[in-house]
Amino acid sequence: MILHGYFRSTASWRVRIALGLKGLVAQQVFHHLRQGEQRAPDYLAINPQGLVPALVTDEGAVLTQSLAICEYLDETHPEPPLLPAQPLARAKVRAAAQLIASDIHPVQNLKVLQRLRDLGHDEAQVQAWARAVIEEGLEAFQALLPGDAGRFAFGDRPGLADLCLVPQLGNARRFGVALRWPRLTQIEAACLELEAFKAAVPGVQPDAE
């Protein structure tokens, strides 16, 4: 497998965690987002959306969108599972994961923040926008967690919600968000005890700056 990504991309970070949890190894190819390498013709031929990550499977198929990739890995390599067995429990985990992947991350990512700058917002306004989006989203994420707290977001085993949460907390720190949610930072600490999470952090990636 080949994983196209960028060390600081939270979406790529999610997939790195999923690969690690599954004990899988993918060759990494890096595209520097701030230099626009994701819009190069050779990469657009792989992912016409010009976003990372993209995963080229062993069969040569190209998958995009981080949660779709993670669920593909879960279905093709079911142990350890990223989702619970019961449909209702699966839906709740997916809702928490999608809250981050669909409602927080896209609204404060590099492309949207640059659009705000292009529309004339100054840097203080752009940064405030990102912080507000992250804070509102993390508040809602915490509210979705079950009351019978385990070590991880949904029990005593890491899963799809955790591999979304940890990168988003890393991103929150980059924007200066005060992490006022002890339950979330406790989950993060439990995750970072695991090698799959430690090996996926941006600072240890080959393209880290």
pLDDT at 124 over 80: yes
The predicted pLDDT at position 18 comes to 98
Q: Is the peptide bond before 53 cis (omega within 30 degrees of 0)?
A: yes
CA distance 86 to 93: 11
Looking at the structure, tell me whether residues 92 and 190 fall in a common domain: yes
The predicted pLDDT at position 147 comes to 87
Q: Report yes or no: 52 and 33 within 8 Å, Cβ to Cβ.
A: yes
- The pTM of this model reads 0.96
User: Under DSSP, is residue 100 helix (H, G, I), strand (E, B) or coil?
Assistant: helix
The predicted pLDDT at position 113 comes to 95
Buried b (16+ CB within 10 A) or exposed e, 126-161: bbebbbebbbebbeebbeebeeeeeebbbeeebbbb
Q: How many domains does the chain have?
A: 2
Looking at the structure, tell me whether residues 33 and 101 fall in a common domain: no
Mean pLDDT of the chain: 97
The predicted pLDDT at position 96 comes to 98
CATH at 44:
3.40.30.10
Q: Over the stretch 143-165, which tens digit does the pLDDT of each residue have? A: 999 988 799 999 999 999 999 99
Looking at the structure, tell me whether residues 150 and 125 fall in a common domain: yes
